[in-house]
Structure 1
């Protein structure tokens, strides 16, 4: 088994350092810290006692990991990223407990970013350089700025090109998105001097007969909605006014579409993690649902969703 490599000029006081981990010069790791295997703890890093670092984590120079911080597997922490653990710090005043900050597996923290206490960075997320993270970051989200806001999502494919008529009007039809049975629908569109009319018939062009609908409007452009899946309920989304982006995730693949006209809709079957963001100021999102409201049908935690999705895939 590979042994950890501790630089002679590092001060590593913990016995809990995994195989193959390297701790470089001038790093200081306190006795209570736990560091996993194959990590790279670079020059000048400080790790306090109540800290857990998973496997294959890279912590670049100038980072301090304070009490209450947990870093899961395969995380990258960029140079001089700053973690905090006390929302109201005072000299010589120690809280009874420190806020818990968690960076989930596969996330990346950009150089010089600041992470406020008690925040969770979702699995696969990416925090841009210099961002100030004041609230939880959704899984796979890219956040930038001060305060950090969602600007996009990692590893998503964009919607396929839509066939058009000779006058440039999108041609009615259905396009499979390759994500858990989700599909993009160009509805029939009629134009005359009185205006435009778009239409779709449930049970014919559209995949189910709805039992419920709701409208989402007045969403600030920096806010994110959705961020859940349904165990059995299907949904059909149309942006009746303005535009918004829709991210669809089946636990393995992700695809993003932009709904920017009333004649374009997306069918989201059950067990698709759906996220809507980048609403235009005038956006009105119309959602048809196949079932009545049932709070038990919601899956609100991404890790739970991934486990459920993996179990369904294994059962075929």
Structure 2
């Protein structure tokens, strides 16, 4: 069986698989082994090797010098830059490496076996990825660490949260920044919050997060029913709130600034300063069943509520 007639194969390419979708092109000196599954509208550059058990989704671009080994799956709309490397380690076999829809891997990046690159994530040029990359995260360095999140406005907060400056409105549905009062005298400064005036719920639990290594990421979940109120009482921490359609990123760096995260909003905390102490007030006692820890499950739950 020959590939679909709409597939363009360079005369100096070797294509042994018949599982190529319409509109796909394979450039010179590339080798696609029998059994490999290639979707529609895929672009395969020069000197690319695709082994028999690799899977490439629709509208994927694979630039020159890339090898897709058995166990590598690229979902739809993925971009793989020139000479990006999917590491192949005998000790890691039979590892399954998954690059989720819309993710981008820069030139000369290295992806260790058995990892998942989340949907919409971006791996920067030359990064060495040694752990899973969350959805929409931007990672760089060796070992790769999160430096930001794609399509996420970074909100500029008023210096020192001045009384005269308005706090920005967040895009993520229901998430709200709250200015907390400050009292200063010769003995020092005091900030406080009152239920109703500042806190939109009566706390049933609190916890503190501290001594977090700078490159570690916390949160990465949503709650079905629990509200949370975050205050960075010392140092600073970056926070992302995501309602499934819109996201915001902000820096909590003052005990005068609180962030209310309602149920069904995905929350992420990262880029902790070495001295950061994050206080979290929760509307409910701990309940493992209240957590949504998979971003796919979160999107499905948000979609079902909207429909």
Is TM-score (shorter-chain normalized) higher than 0.5?
yes
Distance 2:247 2:101 in 1: 17
Aligned to 2:74: 71
* Counterpart residue number, 1:93: none
Summarize the Cα distance change of 1:236–1:171 in structure 2 as closer, same or farther, 3 Å threshold: farther
d(CA) in 1 for partners of 2:155 and 2:195?
23
Q: In structure 1, the residue corresponding to 2:91 is in which secondary structure?
A: coil
**How many pairs are equivalent?**
304
How far, CA to CA, are the matches of 2:227 and 2:56 in structure 1?
39
Q: Counterpart in 2 of 1:44?
A: 47
Counterpart contact for 2:227–2:283, Cα < 8 Å: yes
Cα displacement (A) at 1:86: 2.5
Q: Distance in 2 between matches of 1:143 and 1:283?
A: 22
Q: How many angstroms does 1:269 deviate by?
A: 0.5
The answer to whether 1:198 aligns with 2:191 is yes
Q: TM-score, normalised by structure 1?
A: 0.92
Instruction: For residues 135-162 of structure 1, give each alpha carbon's deviation from its aligned partner in whole angstroms, at most 9, with x where no partner exists.
Output: 1111111111110011111111122544
Alpha-carbon offset, residue 174 of structure 1: 6.2
Answer yes or no: is the 8 Å Cα contact 2:158–2:167 preserved in 1. Answer: no
Matches within 5 A, 1:124-143: 124-143=120-139
Match of 2:155 in 1: 159
Please list the CA deviations of residues 174-197 of structure 1 after superposition, one character each: whole Å capped at 9, or x if unmatched: 653121210111111122222111
| Structure 1 match to 2:280 | 287
Q: Distance in 1 between the 2:258 and 2:87 partners?
A: 43
In structure 1, the partner of 2:8 is: 5
User: 1:185 aligns to what?
Assistant: 178
Q: Structure 1: how far apart are the matches of 2:120 and 2:244?
A: 12
Q: CA deviation at 1:88?
A: 2.8
Q: Where does structure 1 lack aligned partners over 5 or more consecutive residues?
A: 90-96
Q: Once structures 1 and 2 are overlaid, which stretch shifts more, 190-199 or 293-302?
A: 190-199
Return the alpha-carbon distance in structure 1 between the equivalents of residues 228 and 165 of structure 2: 19
Residues 100-157 of structure 1: CA distance to partner in whole angstroms, max 9, x if unpaired? 0000111100100100011111111111101100011111111111100111111111
TM-aligned CA deviation for residue 171 of structure 1:
4.5
Partner of 2:265: 272
Supply the RMSD in Å over aligned alpha carbons: 1.8
- Is 2:157–2:167's contact at 8 Å kept on the other side of the alignment? no
Please give the alpha-carbon distance, in whole angstroms, between the structure 1 residues aligned to 2:254 and 2:164: 14
For residue 16 of structure 1, the aligned residue among 11, 15, 19 is 19
On the 8 A contact 2:157/2:168 being kept in 1, the answer is no
Does 1:28 find its partner at 2:31?
yes
Q: Is the 8 A contact 1:67 1:85 kept in 2?
A: no
Q: Where do 5+ consecutive residues of structure 2 fail to align?
A: none
Q: CA deviation at 1:77?
A: 0.3
